Amino acid sequence: MAGRGSIVVQKFLRWQVILPLVAAVLALAGGWAYSYYLREVKVDPQELIVQALDTTNQADSYRFHVEASLVTNGNKAALSSLDGERASDGNLYLKGQMTGQPVEIYQIKDTTYFRDPASKRWMITPGNSPLEQEKFMAEINPLSILKIMQVNDLQYLGRQKKVPGRPYLLTCKPLVNNQFLNSYWQDFNYQFWVERGSNYIRRVSLEAAHREHPQDKLTMTVDFYDFNKRINIKPPQ
């Protein structure tokens, strides 16, 4: 009887150790399942797009790449392919191609430095910035295409498993608060790749129809990275 009682006590003590471990494992599994549900299943597209636009538009500094093309009569012509960076003080650097011509520009406060493609010399324009009138161009200010007044036909297309970071993909037909775009284009269709966790828009692509010739289309893709990194842009030497 004493031996049997000892076995019962040992089993009881063993279960006192096992049960808390099982409970802890179940709690962790439940927490992971709930976290997975929030990340993968329970995604509110309206809430996500509002957070993504707010977060991205509030970035103090960032780097970017812009590709823009014009499609006319089924033929695609490149408009721009640019790499750029904008510092928290507003200074800007751009390098790439626009309408087939090499472009390299520094905007340092109110002074613009433009490298002449032929002579390779820097042309300096002090005082009023010639870029000010182009501040709504995506090549100059890519965040300007994210100034959206109203989101229509919003759709959530899930996580993009083949894209690094598996971002959320959203599509919509917005009303855009961009004077430059609205002057020439209409019927905007947007796609947003939103980074999980930070809610930064890592990529935005758009397509729009020309106001006078709707069969002609503008396509544009902007990739963003290095949000709020320390970026120091100095005048060229």
Which pLDDT tens digits describe the chain residue by residue (237 residues)?
A: 555 556 655 655 565 666 666 555 555 654 444 455 454 557 999 999 999 999 999 999 999 999 999 999 889 999 999 999 999 999 999 999 998 899 999 999 889 999 999 999 999 988 766 556 555 578 888 999 999 999 999 999 999 887 788 999 999 999 999 988 999 999 999 999 999 999 999 999 999 999 999 999 999 999 999 999 999 999 998
218 and 160 within one domain: yes
CB 61 within 8 A of CB 143: no
Decide if 117 is inside a domain: no
pLDDT on residue 180: 87
For residue 110, what pLDDT is reported?
Answer: 86
The answer to whether position 92 is within a domain reads no
Handedness of CA 33, 39, 43, 48 (dihedral sign): positive
| Residue 173 domain flag | yes
Q: Is residue 110 part of a domain?
A: no
Q: What is the pLDDT of residue 237?
A: 83
Could you count the other beta carbons within 10 Å of the beta carbon of residue 146? 23
Identify whether 98 is part of a domain.
no
Predicted confidence at residue 202, as pLDDT, reads 97
CB atoms within 10 A of CB 133: 11
Whether residues 219 and 151 share a domain: the answer is yes
**In this structure, are 163 and 213 located in the same domain?**
yes
Whether residue 111 lies inside any domain: the answer is no
Both 78 and 183 in one domain: the answer is yes
Q: Are residues 171 and 64 in the same domain?
A: yes
CB 155 within 8 A of CB 172: yes
Looking at the structure, do residues 51 and 16 belong to the same domain, yes or no? Answer: no
Single pTM value for the model: 0.80
Which three-class secondary structure string do you get for the chain? CHHHHHHHHHHHHHHHHHHHHHHHHHHHHHHHHHHHHHHHHCCCHHHHHHHHHHHHHCCCCEEEEEEEEEEECCEEEEEEEEEEEECCCCCEEEEEEECCEEEEEEEECCEEEEECCCCCCEEEECCCCCCHHHCCCCCCCHHHHHCEEECCCCEEEEECCCCCCCCEEEEECCEECCHHHHHHEEEEEEEEEECCCCCCEEEEEEEEEECCCCCCEEEEEEEEECCCCCCCCCCCC
The answer to whether position 197 is within a domain reads yes
Residue 114 lies in a domain: no
- Sign of CA pseudo-dihedral 55, 61, 62, 67: positive
Q: What is the pLDDT of residue 163?
A: 78
My answer on whether 138 and 77 are in the same domain is yes
Q: Are 236 and 122 in contact (CB under 8 A)?
A: yes
Q: 32: domain range?
A: 1-42
CATH of the domain at 72: 2.50.20.20
Domain tally, the chain: 2
